[in-house]
Amino acid sequence: MSLLENKKIVVIGDRDGIPGPAIEACVNTVDNTEVVFSSTECFV
């Protein structure tokens, strides 16, 4: 059982770090999770 299983996930990635779609791809490997928002932002 995963910590993220059966959860709704909000993903905020960093332009100079790990982008949102990469985190979302990892989260989608967990059963019964739903990504409700995914974005890549620039934090200056």
What is the predicted pLDDT for the residue at 8?
96
What is the predicted pLDDT for the residue at 43?
78
State the pTM of this model: 0.82
What is the predicted pLDDT for the residue at 14?
94
Per-residue pLDDT of the chain (44 residues; tens, 9 = 90+): 689 999 999 999 999 999 999 999 999 999 999 999 999 999 77
**Long-range contacts formed by 2-9: CB under 8 A, 24+ apart:** 2/30, 2/31, 4/30, 4/33, 5/30, 5/31, 5/32, 5/33, 6/32, 6/33, 7/33, 7/34, 8/33, 8/34, 8/35, 8/36, 9/33, 9/34, 9/35, 9/36
